[in-house]
Amino acid sequence: MNAEQAGYQAIDRICDYHVTLRDRPVLSQVEPGYLRKALPSSAPTEGEDFQLIADDYQKYIIPGLTHWQHPSFFAYFPTSSTFEGILAELYASSTSNPGFNWSVSPACTELEAVIMDWMAQLLGLDESFYNISEVGGGVIQTSASDSVLVATVAARSRYIREHPQVAMENLVLYTTTQTHSLGKKAGLILGLKVRALGVTAQDDFALRGDTLKVALEEDTNAGFHPFILIGTVGTTSSGAVDRLDEIADVAKHYPFLWLHVDAAWAGVAFVCPEYREAYQLPAINSYVDSFCTSFYKWGLIQFDGSCLWVRHRKHLTDALDITPEFLRSKHGNAGTAIDYRNWQLGLGKRFRSLKFWFVLRARGVKGFQKYISDCIKLNTKFAQSIYESELFSVVTKPSLAMTVFRLAPKSLCQLRTPELNTLNRAFYARLAARNDIAITQTDLNGVFCIRMVIGAEQTLESDVERVLALMEYEAMALLKNQWEGIGGRRGRKTDVVPFHSH
Ligand code: PLP
C-alpha cells in the first residue's frame, strides 16, 4: 500500500472509530506489559508495507486505549476530539515547524495571536487581556500545568525585581487544599515554599478572603514574602469556585501578590454568558494577573491546548526572554511582532491555533454554547435523580457538568462517615471493575465520594439514564452481598442493565 492509499484508509478508519465508539468497551482490559509481549524487541531493519503498520495499530494499539470520547466516559474531566480538530492537526503536522519566533513562520504566530483574541471574546474576558491591546495578551500553552509554571516564573521575577533584597527561599506560593497538584508541582520544580490554605465543606470547598488574610498576615509577620496565589474556578474534586471577589479585596493590600486563576475545566463554560457571574468572571476581569482555561478539556479542541492570558505581557517577556544571536530577527529586535518563545518555557511550539480556528469556525459561537449547555443540562438531570434517590446523595453542590455524590441509602441513615467511606470504596470498586463505564473517585475532607462529569459529545440522555440504572444495580448488589440485613430500598424503577464484564 502506498502512502496516498494509506492516507485515505486512515481517514476512513478514523471515521469508523468515531462512529462505532458506542459499541466499544470504554475502558481497556489489557494487563501491564501487554504491548512489550506483542511487539518485536527492536525496529525492523527494512521498511515495512504501510498496510501492515495500519493493521497493527488496530490490532495492538486500539485494545490498549481508554476511549475518552465514549458516550459512557464520565471520569476525570473530558478531553475533546472533533473531526474539525483532527483535520487541523493533519494540516498542522503536514507543515511541521517549531514556531518559536514570528519570523520562522509568520502565520503560526499571527493566527495564535488572533485566535487568542477570538477565544477571549468568546469567554467575555476583559479587553486588557487581548493581544490587540499590546499590553496584555494570550498564548496557547501545552497544559494548565505549564500555564501555572509560566505564571509563577513571571510572578517570581516581578517580585524579585521589585524586592532585590529578598531571598528566593522566603517567597511563598499559595494554593488551597483543593487546588490541583499543579500548584505543588510548580513549587517543587521552582524550589518554592508552598502553603495550601484550608477550605471547608460549609463553604463548598471555596477559598474565602478571611482564610487568605490570616495566612498572609502570619507569613509576612514571620518574614516571608507572599508572591503568588493560585485560585481555582472549578476544582478537580468538586468543581468548587474560590471566592475571587473576597480574595481580591484582601490581595489589594499586597500589590505584588500575583493572582493566577486556574479554570482548566470550568472556564470554558464562560462561553455561555449565564454562567459568568456565578463562576466569578467579573472578578477575573477586574483583578487577576493571569487566567487559564484548557479548551482541550471541555472545549471541543483535542489535547493539547491550554489558553493562558496575562494582563501584562511584559511580565512574561521580562522573565522568559533570552535571546542569543542565533535567535535574533528583524521584527523580534524591533518589537514589532510577538515571539512566542518568550511567553513559554520551551523554545518551540506546535501549531495549535489551527485547530482552535477550524473548530470555532465550523461550530460558531452558537455551536460552542449549545455543546456546553447540553452537557450542563444532562448533568442537571443526573443530579436531580441523585437528589431524588433513596440510595445516593450529593456530597457537595453540583457544579456545571459535574456531580459529586456517594452511596448513602436512606435506610442506612445510622451509618457514620467511616462506615459510609467503607461502603463507598466497595461501591466504587464495583463500578471500576466494569468496562462499560468510566467514572472516578475522590476524597473531600475525609469523605470518599464518586465524581461524575459529563463532556463527551456523543453522550445522550439515555446514556445518563443507563448509568443511573447501572449504579443502582451495583449498589443493590453490594448491599445484598455484603451488607445483608441492613439493605437499602431501590430509588428508581429502572431495570438492571447488562454489562460487558465484571
Ligand atoms: N487544573 C484543574 C482544575 C484540573 O482539573 C486539571 C486536570 O484535570 C489540571 C489543572 C491539570 O491540567 P493539565 O494536565 O493541563 O496540566
CA 311 to ligand 1 centroid distance, Å: 22
CA-proximal residue: ligand 1, atom 12 (nearest): 144
Looking at residue 483, its pLDDT comes to 62
Q: What are phi and psi of 398, to 5 degrees?
A: -55, 145
Ligand 1 atom at shortest distance from the alpha carbon of 148? 16
Nearest to 131 by CA among 358, 338, 344, 296: 338
Ligand 1 atom at shortest distance from the alpha carbon of 306? 15
d(CA 117, CA 165) in angstroms, rounded, equals: 38
CA 244 to ligand 1 centroid distance, Å: 19
Q: Which residues have any ligand 1 atom within 6 Å of their CB?
A: 76-77, 143-145, 180, 182, 232, 234-236, 262, 264-265, 294, 306
CA 481 to ligand 1 centroid distance, Å: 37
Ligand 1 atom at shortest distance from the alpha carbon of 262? 1
Looking at residue 481, its pLDDT comes to 79
Cell of 323: 535571546
Ligand 1 atom at shortest distance from the alpha carbon of 146? 16
CA 283 to ligand 1 centroid distance, Å: 21
CA 15 to ligand 1 centroid distance, Å: 29
d(CA 461, CA 445) in angstroms, rounded, equals: 32
| Secondary structure (DSSP) of 324-390 | -GGG--HHHHHT-S--GGGGSSSS----THHHHHHHHHHHHHHHHHHHHHHHHHHHHHHHHHHHH-S
Ligand 1 atom at shortest distance from the alpha carbon of 304? 15
Looking at residue 184, its pLDDT comes to 98
Per-residue pLDDT of the chain in tens (502 residues, 90 and over written 9): 887 899 999 999 999 999 999 999 999 999 999 999 999 999 999 999 999 999 999 999 999 999 999 999 999 999 999 999 999 999 999 999 999 999 999 999 999 999 999 999 999 999 999 999 999 999 999 999 999 999 999 999 999 999 999 999 999 999 999 999 999 999 999 999 999 999 999 999 999 999 999 999 999 999 999 999 999 999 999 999 999 999 999 999 999 999 999 999 999 999 999 999 999 999 999 999 999 999 999 999 999 999 999 999 999 999 999 999 999 999 988 989 999 999 999 999 999 999 999 999 999 999 999 999 999 999 999 999 999 999 999 999 999 999 999 999 999 989 999 999 999 999 999 999 999 999 999 999 999 999 999 999 999 999 999 999 999 999 999 999 776 544 444 444 444 444 443 3
Cell of 180: 490541583
Q: Are strands 440-444 and 392-399 parallel, antiparallel or unpaired?
A: unpaired
CA 145 to ligand 1 centroid distance, Å: 7
Nearest to 303 by CA among 116, 115, 110, 68: 68
| Secondary structure (DSSP) of 49-68 | -HHHHHHHIIIIIGGG---T
Asked if omega into 219 is within 30° of 0 (cis), the reply is no
Looking at residue 496, its pLDDT comes to 42
CA 89 to ligand 1 centroid distance, Å: 22
pTM of the complete model beyond 0.75: yes
Ligand 1 atom at shortest distance from the alpha carbon of 145? 16
CA 331 to ligand 1 centroid distance, Å: 35
CA 333 to ligand 1 centroid distance, Å: 35
Select from 145, 230, 306 the residue to mutate for testing ligand 1; criterion: most ligand atoms less than 8 Å from CB: 145
Nearest to 494 by CA among 463, 459, 468: 468
Select from 73, 241, 294 the residue to mutate for testing ligand 1; criterion: most ligand atoms less than 8 Å from CB: 294
For the chain, what percentages of helix, strand and coil (3-state, to nearest 5) are there? Answer: 50, 15, 35
Ligand 1 atom at shortest distance from the alpha carbon of 232? 3
CA-proximal residue: ligand 1, atom 11 (nearest): 144
d(CA 240, CA 495) in angstroms, rounded, equals: 34
Ligand 1 atom at shortest distance from the alpha carbon of 234? 3
Neighbours of 249 (CB within 10 A): 15
CA 224 to ligand 1 centroid distance, Å: 28
108 touches 339 (CB < 8 A)? no
Select from 73, 150, 177, 265 the residue to mutate for testing ligand 1; criterion: most ligand atoms less than 8 Å from CB: 265
Ligand 1 atom at shortest distance from the alpha carbon of 142? 15
CA 264 to ligand 1 centroid distance, Å: 6
**Helix (H) / strand (E) containing 4:** helix 3-19
CA 453 to ligand 1 centroid distance, Å: 14
Ligand 1 atom at shortest distance from the alpha carbon of 294? 15
Ligand 1 atom at shortest distance from the alpha carbon of 76? 8
CA 501 to ligand 1 centroid distance, Å: 31
CA 214 to ligand 1 centroid distance, Å: 28
CA-proximal residue: ligand 1, atom 4 (nearest): 236
290 touches 310 (CB < 8 A)? yes
